């Protein structure tokens, strides 16, 4: 019975020591909105002690709408080899581009054997942009706190000084 108790207590002590050691080497987490930035102990100590030190990491992506100009053929006429004039039916650009497209302008180009009318439309395009968080310790703020800021670009690329 004593051997079982000693074995259980030994295993329990090893488990508790492991938990305490794991918590001591844990990383530090900073939050900004719904994003989190984890910093290692080594980086956290540098953030606390060094002036003008920063850590930046990509923490996610966000979808943004960007408006792009598209050129679409709207109407065309041409003369065949026998001299007959042909007219195409006009194409609906909204069926091709979507009904969120916004009209900008039309341009007609005249050629020897006919003409073509082009329409220019602004079309929404969804793009994914990265989101970066930066933890900064800088004397410009006038305090000795670590500030966390959110960016749509990497404010401190790897080749910049830290």
Residue-range domain boundaries for the chain: 73-123
The conformational region for residue 100 under phi > 0 = left, psi -120 to 50 = alpha, else beta, is alpha
Predicted local distance difference test score (pLDDT) of residue 161: 47
Q: Are the CB atoms for 116 and 109 separated by under 8 Å?
A: yes
Tell me the pTM.
0.55
User: Could you tell me how far CA 106 lies from the centroid of its own chain?
Assistant: 34
pLDDT digits (tens, 9 = 90+) for 44-65: 888 888 878 888 888 889 899 9
The residue ranges of the chain whose pLDDT is under 50 are 160-162
Q: Are the CB atoms for 93 and 119 separated by under 8 Å?
A: yes
Predicted local distance difference test score (pLDDT) of residue 128: 92
User: What burial letters (b/e) apply to 36-67, b meaning 16+ CB within 10 Å?
Assistant: ebbbeeebbebbeeeeebbbbeebeeeeeeee
Tokens of 113: 């054997």
pLDDT digits (tens, 9 = 90+) for 127-147: 998 999 888 887 777 777 888
Q: Are the CB atoms for 63 and 127 separated by under 8 Å?
A: yes
Tokens of 24: 């001591």
């Amino acid at each position: 019975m004593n051997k079982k108790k000693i074995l259980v207590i030994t295993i329990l002590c090893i488990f508790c020591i492991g938990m305490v050691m794991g918590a001591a080497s844990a990383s530090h987490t900073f939050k900004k909105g719904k994003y989190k930035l984890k910093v290692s102990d080594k980086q956290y100590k540098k953030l606390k002690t060094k002036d003008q030190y920063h850590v930046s990491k990509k923490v996610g992506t966000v979808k943004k709408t960007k408006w792009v100009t598209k050129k679409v053929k709207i109407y065309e006429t041409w003369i065949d080899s026998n001299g007959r004039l042909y007219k195409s039916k006009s194409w609906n650009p909204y069926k091709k581009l979507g009904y969120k497209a916004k009209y900008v302008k039309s341009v007609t180009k005249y050629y020897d054997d006919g003409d073509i009318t082009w329409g220019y439309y602004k079309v929404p395009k969804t793009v994914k942009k990265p989101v970066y968080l930066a933890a900064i310790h800088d004397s410009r703020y006038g305090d000795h706190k670590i500030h966390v800021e959110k960016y749509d670009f990497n404010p401190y690329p790897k080749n910049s000084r830290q």
